[in-house]
Structure 1
């Protein structure tokens, strides 16, 4: 018998793959071997991005199953992706488990599944394999997803999850973010049909999670005590990004531009604006240009992650304002994708203009970096509320009458954030709390060690 073998299956999106990969690396350090199941589409992206680093020491074995979509279809369309996942992936996972557990020696001992893939926990149960639910985002978002029945009873949403009054803010309990129901996870993902599918999936996932012994979450008590008073059974073992040494295989879908770090080495401490919007955010051409001109107006060095697919319909290269690249060439650097954890840990970073995805949020927190918040969809509005109103380590942007964040607004918020020392002081204090929770006697580390003991027993 070798080390216990775990099958790990993330929801097929960048913000879900990375934290489960971080958890997988931690489990490898404790003697487990991991079979990491991406969709075929994402598996290819990870392999293309990492080349020979993919094989590593062999303790994380990357495999894939189809996602039920055609090669050219848009995987950012949540309705189609949800259909593909539900119609095709369950039978493919059954086939994979049969194949692996048909070989005598190295059977799967546990399945760790993203809560958004609750059906995988049901399949694990069919095979008699203990399942563990993993939640990669904030505990508060999970508390919200678990509260759908109460929201229905209180007439905040109807049976399809549609808000009855989307403009009125609600708060689930004190010390948790206030929200507009129009920004609930399922209401911010597109049209009504998509919303209905995602809402139904949420209800199914809630049921699947009821039967697992461990529901682990990529957060810590200190960051969101209010959320844990709502759902005490969530067990925080994070932030995972604060616990790991930087592993070569991060699970990123794009090649990471290592020249970012060499460039940062040449900048003054605490001088650089880091600008990155995760894997989904899309800008229209006007907004893209205003952002470029705002960074130019700020008159500070900046490192800007410009994904190849970041603008609607047009290549970003064609959208930079005329002469922009020449004017900023001595203080601005644009890259396709950055090794973000290493960037945020770099002493030259002053602040982070972010879409406020949970991974970016905890990576910034773990390094004491203040934020300028530019949420796009899903839980990013909740995380913005945490950053600006609860933790007070950042500011949001105001949109003008065109619904655009103007260059002047960008310049003015950068100045306001960096002039006021209190943002950096609070961010450093929060960094201390986060790092304490993952160190040897910290609450997240204790829970993680109990989890390891349970799996080894």
Structure 2
């Protein structure tokens, strides 16, 4: 008799990393695996708090946690400080967790799937005799970039701290990938040079001796989206797009998404039901992006100026020192504002016309899967690469232009929404900017999503059978 495999999944402690790995975990549960999902203590409490009782009690996934080493007063948006603390604290705690699961609960972990940003976890797994796989939550092209950092340093393109060594504007990772602009290097888009250096060194550590701890690399993307990137790393297995709008039998999943740091406001779905098809501008900037008051004011008044219905996610975080206020002249009569939305369900709703997005990779895949066009407003890290990919390669969106004050003005917001949605109604919607391309990628992504189970099962079988 073959026992049910138990997979321990450990994401980097950020919402954009937790989401795809939680979806991945559900896929494995659907095909006969037990899952132990390891959050940091801090995020575990947020996840439990955001869940309703029914969703939490019926979850097939065992939620556990280990400390990240920071106190409650620390700012976990400071990814440099967080990463240093993770590396000094979590490896020993993970090893103890694995031992306690077997000693106290009789649970033997069969394999570990670790976020690349938690790559040290596979060193722990190897130490205790467990097989493992890496999981990359971003675009395959960004993995190729990260994987080739030692080569970029050796070639003199980057110094040992990850900064460009010359005035070179472009570089080549491989003959099969077009030249990359230096501006798409994700760690150069972190605002703070100390954070940049710390996070760069942390990720290098996570990838140290990576080829000696696993032969398996999983990526939340598809070959159809990024054929050139996947051809550069033969062991990189496409298992995306990972989403939980529907299960593998196209049945709706639980009303709330397990793994969210904030409670989803489901009232927005009823509001969307009352709107005309293809009429609503959805505005959401993920779990980290922050605005100063001037830019927030321009955004609010831009949404008012466009004279269209809008659904706007304004994240409520009581621990955040970045306090912003709606301008007095903002009425918001045509819109609905929520603190956190069930985004995958929102983007699949027929009322959605376009997505004003920070271009996180999860949001990018969710928009593509649902055939939604983008207005790109990247904030940091890989989001600038994703914007260029959306606009220049996939051609399903537009970017915003800054004014002389470095702001995206209210007028620019209205103008780009009108341009994207063809406000003059002189062109059929099917021919409006990016619409044909958006529907093309919706079909390709949805078809690919239905095929990912075979990749997941094949990977798991290989891991368990020590192939």
Which TM-score band (shorter chain)?
over 0.9
Give 1:323's aligned residue: 329
- CA distance 1:159–1:386, change in 2 (3 Å): same
Q: 1:173-231: CA deviations, max 9, x gaps?
A: 57857644344222222433322221222222222431312211111000111211222
Report the counterpart of residue 97 of structure 1 in structure 2.
98
Which residue number corresponds to residue 432 of structure 2? 421
State the secondary structure of the residue aligned to 1:240: coil
Paired positions, count: 449
Matched-pair contact (CA < 8 Å) for 2:81–2:198: no
User: Where in structure 1 are there 5+ consecutive unaligned residues?
Assistant: none
**CA-CA distance at 1:56 after TM superposition:** 4.0
Q: Structure 2 CA distance, aligned partners of 1:104 and 1:250?
A: 24
* Equivalence for 1:246: 253
Judged with a 3 Å threshold, the aligned counterparts in structure 2 of structure 1 residues 449 and 96 are, in CA distance, closer, same or farther, namely closer
Query: What is aligned with 2:288?
Result: 280
Aligned residue in 1 for 2:19? 18
State the Cα deviation string for residues 372-406 of structure 1 (Å, max 9, x = none): 00000011011101100000000011111211001
Which residue does the alignment assign to 1:390? 393
Pairwise CA distance, 1:282:
0.3
- Post-superposition shift, 1:451? 1.8
1:170–1:181: 8 Å Cα contact kept in structure 2? yes
Cα deviation, 1:296-335, whole Å, max 9, x if unaligned, reads 111110000000249984534xx2121313xx32x11110
Cα pair distance change 1:89/1:315, threshold 3 Å: same
How far 1:105 sits from its partner (Å)? 3.8
Aligned to 2:406: 403
Which residue number in structure 1 is paired with residue 428 of structure 2? none
Secondary structure of the structure 2 residue equivalent to 1:235: strand
Do 1:55 and 1:61's aligned partners in 2 also have CA atoms closer than 8 Å? Answer: no
Q: CA deviation at 1:446?
A: 3.4
TM-score when scaled to structure 1? 0.93
Measure the CA separation in 2 of the matches of 1:369 and 1:144: 27
Aligned-partner Cα distance in 2 for 1:284–1:166? 31
1:33-112 equivalences in 2 (<5 Å):
33-53=34-54, 55-103=56-104, 105-112=106-113
Q: Secondary structure at the match of 2:434?
A: helix
CA distance in 2, matches of 1:260, 1:220: 30
Give the CA deviation at 1:171: 4.7
Summarize deviations over 1:230-289 as a string: whole Å, max 9, x none. 222210011011764434443110000001100000000000000000000000000000
| Aligned-CA RMSD value | 2.1
Match of 1:94, SS state, is helix
Moved more, 372-381 or 47-56: 47-56
* Alpha-carbon distance between aligned partners in 1 of 2:389 and 2:397, rounded to the nearest angstrom: 9
SS at match of 2:51: helix
Task: Give the alignment's TM-score, normalised by structure 2.
Answer: 0.91
Equivalent residue for 2:233, pick from 231, 234, 244:
231
Counterpart Cα distance in 2 of 1:311 and 1:107: 38
Distance in 2 (alpha carbons) for counterparts of 1:454 and 1:56:
32
Mapping of 1:196-215 within 5 angstroms? 196-210=197-211, 211-215=213-217
SS in 2 for 1:282: coil
Deviation at residue 452 of structure 1 after TM alignment: 3.7
Matches within 5 A, 1:125-140: 125-140=126-141
Does 2:334 match 1:349?
no
